[in-house]
Amino acid sequence: MDKTINNTVKNHFRQHVPSFVDGVERFGFDFTTTEELLGNEWIKGWSKPFKPKKLISIDFTTGETTESETKNTSGDFCRYSISDNHLMAEFDDGFHWWVLGTIEKPELIDLPKWAGWKHRAILDGEEVVLTDEVGSSCGDVLTLRDGRKARNIRYGNG
């Protein structure tokens, strides 16, 4: 039987942390509405404008340091969406995205369904948008299901 909060079904969010990352505790929280989910400070932070941060790099062979700034490589925030039970943050009209975490009962969330992969590419000399026709990608090479190759322009100027 579902636990309820004020006669509303309780749902649960659990942060996604890639398996190759060590030393990070996943967090989670209960919520009852989509608005409550998106109102969480960590989740809301994904929709805020990008602010560069200072990076300091150290060359351990010489001891020299260099300063630089982080760059926005994902574009502007577009929307939140759901893919199966995953909460997604989409950027740059959905060309870039991040999995934020899992939702215990995604059917109770009122968000658009994630449309899937989108690639800006050069195919036969023309700039195109590719979606389902892409079978695999490796670096800047997209291999289409029909065997043709396209260049993913995410990795350069086309």
- At 7 the pLDDT is 53
* Mean pLDDT of all residues in 92-101: 91
Q: What is the pTM of this model?
A: 0.75
Number of CB atoms found within 10 A of residue 141's CB: 13
Same domain, 23 and 71: yes
- At 73 the pLDDT is 67
d(CA 141, CA 82): 27
- At 158 the pLDDT is 39
Tens digits of residue pLDDT in 109-144: 999 999 988 999 999 999 999 999 999 989 889 999
Give yes or no for residue 43 having a pLDDT over 80.
yes
Residue 145: domain span: 117-158
How many structural domains are present in the chain? 2
**Among 99, 96, 53, which Cα is nearest to 76's?**
96
Tens digits of residue pLDDT in 46-90: 998 877 777 788 888 888 888 887 776 678 899 999 999 999 999
Same domain, 131 and 109: no
- At 125 the pLDDT is 94
- At 58 the pLDDT is 86
> CA 72, 78, 144: angle at the middle one, nearest 5?
85
**Among 75, 72, 66, which Cα is nearest to 51's?**
72
Same domain, 123 and 48: no
Residue 8 structure tokens: 């509303």
- Of the given ranges (24-28, 55-59, 98-102), which has the lowest mean pLDDT? 55-59
Same domain, 24 and 45: yes
